[in-house]
A and B are shown apart, each in its own frame.
Chain A
Amino acid sequence: MGLRKAEAVSPAVGIALIALAAVALPLVTRDSYYLDVATTILMNLTLTMSFRLQVSTGQINMAHISFMGIGAYASALLVTRLGWSFWATLWIGALVAALLAVPIGSVALRVSGPYYFLITFAFSEVVRLFFNNFFEGLFGGPSGLVGIPKPGRLLGLTFDGKLALYWLMAVLCVVVVVALVRLDYSRFGLTAGAIRQADLVVETLGVNVFRFKLTTFVLGSFVAGLAGVFFAHYRQVLHSSDFGLEPMVLLVVFTVIGGTGSVWGPVVGTILMTIASELLRELHHYEILVFGAVLILTMLFAPEGLVALPGAARRLVRKVRGRASEPAGVGLAP
């Protein structure tokens, strides 16, 4: 039995809708542009879902994108330098991200609030500069790491076309969504939300809040690493700026616009914003200006994100109706 009765969508229905949409898309169109957009949505969704997992405890991890980068570079190097198979490095890259998350999370999670924000931001810059300036022969320096091969063959299937890669990302994304939704609707999600509301109280009720936050940090980093590995072999070229401040800000915007209070927030935010980002492509770097404006408007008029709007509208309608049916002049509306 779920612990989160307050949610409007049942987890099974939500997951089924996402899976259905993922399966239906290639039936509707096989245009490579649309497949590319859809693959990007799924990749972004994997990232925003894992980011939301950490935000659900009240921590904004500004280094989340760096763990995507760590997974991406780890796999790209293992495949290009050592000739390992993508199917192994997919998991190894994610594991490397998760393993590095243990010491980094252990340090960063000693503080909270703005200090945590700053520490993780500083770390993300360190990682970006490291990829950009150190071991140029290895990471490719400012010109990037190029020549990363596509995933290749598995079980008699060849993963190099747009459609095959779309399916691969769809499977990864749906697995991640199922896992994170299940967690959110369990005691784990309940505890995460309680920590966000009053972490000291949770701690005095027997939950090791530090260990809990570290668990979400490491798990989130694992998933980000997974998305990073896919990214590396999908784009076939990596630049340090792929994991810099701008994509990190977009990741925050996508997640926050959908709403972080619900596990479905990142889904709504990511789908809408990835499509918007495609429509705004011609604006180039000004795109982020538009996103900034959208973020401000969301914070002003729907601070709990787009996903909370239907509930807010329902409450408003009920309030208006309730007021209309009240006899005039009797009492004050609550």
Chain B
Amino acid sequence: MLLELSSVTRRFGGLLAVVDLSMTIEPGSIHGLIGPNGAGKSTVFNLITGVVPLTAGEILFKRERISGLRPSEICRRGVARTFQATALFREYTVLQNVLIGAHLLAAPGLAPALFRSRSYRERERRARRRGRALLESLGLGAVANQVAAQLPHRDQKALALAMALATGAELVILDEPLAGLTAQERAKTIAVLRRLREQGTTVLLVEHDMKAVMGVCDTVTVLDHGVRIAEGTPREIQANPAVIEAYLGAEEPGA
């Protein structure tokens, strides 16, 4: 397994946002995390990426403990994410945004930047190449030099994904990658997710579009009030009475 949460708990004051959650993510899979609003999905993302510390439990990535590390260190180990409210560097161009994502590929620090050594320039060129290639593959090649704030919503979404991928992460965690997109744009993003899986990148996503989740995910975990109430293939989840009861009311998932 690539990522393993064991007995993860997060308490905010008197509120238990995530309770004793255990789940595993298989390498090369697309794993969906679903649940009603307030179920604790975004908190799980924040816990995995180190943005919020755990109250109890531990998280392993490639069998190494990542809980307790800084977000930057967790990213360095190979976990990248996007945010629900698409977070970009709004004053920067699309290419500059993705170059920040390629930070780990570049030569950081003072001395290389001051003296512009050959290796600094070589690594920056490499970062730039990866950035450009990523932008092309996500349909952002034409807007590479546009300022991010001026992009339409769909391009901002795509850029956030490009930035996460630019880190070279093995696991990308996407918070509502389809929100606010038209049916056509959704289909495009879903195709991108499938392509990522083919290339060996593992995807964990939170999404409210049930049809998309059931269509694209290999495994789905269902959270309700911070508790895992089900996990399985989309087919199993759709047939699970607990899920139908607690999460979807009387409606059948995917209907």
Interface residues of chain A, those whose CB is within 8 Å of chain B, are 1, 3, 5-6, 179, 182-183, 186-191, 193-194, 197-198, 200-210, 215, 219
Cα A272 to Cα B21 with chains together (Å) = 61
Cα A209 to Cα B76 with chains together (Å) = 13
Contacts of A219 in B (CB 8 A): 110
Candidates B106, B163, B164; contact of A187 at CB < 8 Å:
B106
Interface of A is mostly: helix
Q: B90 at interface (Cβ–Cβ under 8 A)?
A: yes
Is the beta-carbon distance between B100 and A204 smaller than 8 angstroms?
A: no
Is the beta-carbon distance between A187 and B51 smaller than 8 angstroms?
A: no
Is the beta-carbon distance between A201 and B113 smaller than 8 angstroms?
A: no
The 7 closest A-B pairs by CB, nearest first: A186-B113, A206-B75, A188-B113, A208-B72, A206-B104, A203-B71, A201-B87
Nearest-CB distance from B159 to chain A (Å)?
12
Contacts of A209 in B (CB 8 A): 72
Q: How many Cβ-Cβ contacts under 8 Å join chain A to chain B?
A: 101
Is the beta-carbon distance between B92 and A201 smaller than 8 angstroms?
A: no
Is the beta-carbon distance between A198 and B163 smaller than 8 angstroms?
A: no
- A197, A206, A219 interface centre (most CB from chain B within 10 Å): A206
Is the beta-carbon distance between B70 and A206 smaller than 8 angstroms?
A: no
Contacts of A203 in B (CB 8 A): 70-72, 75
- A186, A188, A201, A209 interface centre (most CB from chain B within 10 Å): A201
Is the beta-carbon distance between B51 and A182 smaller than 8 angstroms?
A: no
Cα A34 to Cα B50 with chains together (Å) = 56
Is the beta-carbon distance between B70 and A208 smaller than 8 angstroms?
A: yes
Candidates B72, B113, B163, B164; contact of A183 at CB < 8 Å:
B113
Contacts of A191 in B (CB 8 A): 100, 103, 108
Question: Interface readout for B99-121 with A: 1 if CB under 8 Å, 0 if not?
Answer: 11101101111100110100001
Q: B252 at interface (Cβ–Cβ under 8 A)?
A: no
Query: A188-B113, A190-B96 known; A205 and B167 CB under 8 Å?
Result: yes
Is the beta-carbon distance between A1 and B163 smaller than 8 angstroms?
A: no
Nearest-CB distance from A200 to chain B (Å)?
7
Closest chain A residue, CB of each to CB of B123: A187
Candidates A182, A186, A205, A215; contact of B100 at CB < 8 Å:
A205
Is the beta-carbon distance between A205 and B101 smaller than 8 angstroms?
A: yes
Question: Interface readout for B135-174 with A: 1 if CB under 8 Å, 0 if not?
Answer: 0000000000100000000000000000110110000000
Closest chain B residue, CB of each to CB of A211: B72
Q: List 15 A-B contacts (CB under 8 A).
A: A183-B110, A183-B114, A186-B114, A186-B116, A187-B103, A190-B99, A194-B100, A198-B88, A202-B100, A204-B49, A204-B80, A205-B103, A205-B166, A205-B167, A219-B110
Nearest-CB distance from A331 to chain B (Å)?
19
- B110, B116, B124 interface centre (most CB from chain A within 10 Å): B110
Nearest-CB distance from B157 to chain A (Å)?
14
Q: B91 at interface (Cβ–Cβ under 8 A)?
A: yes
Is the beta-carbon distance between B92 and A193 smaller than 8 angstroms?
A: yes
Closest chain A residue, CB of each to CB of B87: A201
Interface residues of chain B, those whose CB is within 8 Å of chain A, are 49, 51, 70-73, 75-76, 80-81, 83, 87-93, 96, 99-101, 103-104, 106-110, 113-114, 116, 121, 124-125, 128, 145, 163-164, 166-167
Is the beta-carbon distance between A200 and B113 smaller than 8 angstroms?
A: no
Is the beta-carbon distance between A206 and B167 smaller than 8 angstroms?
A: yes
Is the beta-carbon distance between A204 and B116 smaller than 8 angstroms?
A: no
Closest chain A residue, CB of each to CB of B72: A208
Is the beta-carbon distance between A187 and B80 smaller than 8 angstroms?
A: no
Closest chain B residue, CB of each to CB of A1: B124
Contacts of A215 in B (CB 8 A): 109-110
Query: A3-B96, A204-B80, A208-B73 known; A179 and B114 CB under 8 Å?
Result: yes
Contacts of B75 in A (CB 8 A): 203-206
Cα A179 to Cα B113 with chains together (Å) = 9
Contacts of B106 in A (CB 8 A): 187
Nearest-CB distance from A327 to chain B (Å)?
25
Candidates B80, B96, B108, B114; contact of A182 at CB < 8 Å:
B114
Candidates A201, A202, A208; contact of B83 at CB < 8 Å:
A201
Contacts of B83 in A (CB 8 A): 201
Contacts of A205 in B (CB 8 A): 72, 75, 80, 100-101, 103, 163-164, 166-167
Cα A182 to Cα B72 with chains together (Å) = 25
Is the beta-carbon distance between B72 and A204 smaller than 8 angstroms?
A: yes
Candidates A187, A197, A200, A202; contact of B91 at CB < 8 Å:
A197
Closest chain A residue, CB of each to CB of B98: A205
Nearest-CB distance from A303 to chain B (Å)?
14
Is the beta-carbon distance between B113 and A187 smaller than 8 angstroms?
A: yes
Sample of 16 further A-B pairs with CB below 8 A, known A201-B88, A202-B100, A209-B72: A3-B96, A3-B124, A182-B114, A183-B110, A183-B113, A186-B113, A188-B113, A189-B113, A193-B89, A197-B91, A198-B87, A201-B163, A204-B51, A206-B72, A215-B109, A215-B110
Cα A6 to Cα B128 with chains together (Å) = 16
Cα A234 to Cα B92 with chains together (Å) = 42
Cα A210 to Cα B108 with chains together (Å) = 14
Nearest-CB distance from A230 to chain B (Å)?
22
Cα A38 to Cα B83 with chains together (Å) = 50
